Each structure stands twice: as structure tokens, then as C-alpha cells.
């Protein structure tokens, strides 16, 4: 049930990024095999600074329910990062982090 949140420079194709991140999460084999529980959204930034030289960036936050071990989290982040690497970008920063959502305080309702 990950929430995959992609922050990226606006010059990049959000639709393509969403698909690559979805596929990376799916290929981690940590979620439903058909991907129905994987949620992906992206936020494009027009205004940003990356050090002293402006370069494209992609930062993916993968929010998952707490309880997974470090190996599973690493597998997930590496699977998504491997997918991002296939985009063929140059002079771009690609980062992925996994963040636990505490089960005790997480609420969900489908309406």
C-alpha cells in the first residue's frame, strides 16, 4: 500500500515518472501482485535550486506502513532507483527514500 510521492523538476515528464515509479514498486514484490495497492503522484517544481548549478532532479518518497525490515525497505528503494536510472537522464540527481507510516495512527476510508 505504498504512497509514492515524486518531487521533480518541471522539465521532466510526470506521466513517464509515475509509470516508472509504479513499475519499480511493483517489481519489488512487496505489494499486491497486480499493483492495485500502489498509489503514485507527482509534484513538479518550476522554482528550485540544486547547489551552484541548476540540474534536473527526481526525489521519490515511498511511504509504507511500519513493520517492514531494513532489507525490504532497501529492496524497495533500489527497485525504484533502478527504474529511474532507465530514463537515460544526464546531469540529474535521483534520490529515493522509504518512510514508515505508523500503523497505530494511520487511518483510511474508501468512499
13-69 pLDDT, tens digit per residue, is 999 999 999 999 999 999 999 999 999 999 999 999 988 888 999 999 999 999 999
Torsion of CA 110, 30, 7, 100, to 10 degrees: 80
CATH, residue 76: 3.30.429.10
- Is 110 part of a structural domain of the chain? no
CA dist 52 and 73 (Å) reads: 32
Per the domain annotation, does 78 fall within a domain? yes
* pLDDT of 53: 86
pLDDT band, residue 93 (cuts 50/70/90): very high
Strand partners for 40: 4
Please, what sign has the CA dihedral across residues 56, 61, 62, 67? positive
The domain tally of the chain equals 1
Q: What is d(CA 97, CA 101) in angstroms, rounded to the nearest whole number? A: 13
**pLDDT for the residue 80:** 98
Which residues constitute the domain of residue 61? 3-101
pTM for this structure? 0.94
- Domain assignment of residue 106, yes or no: no
**Looking at the domain assignment, is residue 63 inside a domain?**
yes
Amino acid at each position: 500500500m505504498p504512497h509514492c510521492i515524486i518531487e521533480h523538476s518541471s522539465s521532466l515528464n510526470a506521466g513517464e515518472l509515475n509509470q516508472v515509479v509504479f513499475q519499480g514498486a511493483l517489481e519489488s514484490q512487496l505489494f499486491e501482485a497486480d499493483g492495485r495497492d500502489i498509489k503514485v503522484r507527482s509534484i513538479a517544481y518550476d522554482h528550485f535550486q540544486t547547489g551552484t548549478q541548476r540540474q534536473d532532479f527526481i526525489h521519490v518518497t515511498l511511504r509504507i506502513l511500519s513493520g517492514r525490515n531494513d532489507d525490504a525497505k532497501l529492496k524497495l528503494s533500489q527497485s525504484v532507483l533502478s527504474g529511474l536510472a532507465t530514463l537515460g537522464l544526464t546531469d540529474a540527481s535521483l534520490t529515493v527514500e522509504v518512510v514508515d507510516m505508523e500503523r497505530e495512527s494511520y487511518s483510511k476510508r474508501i468512499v
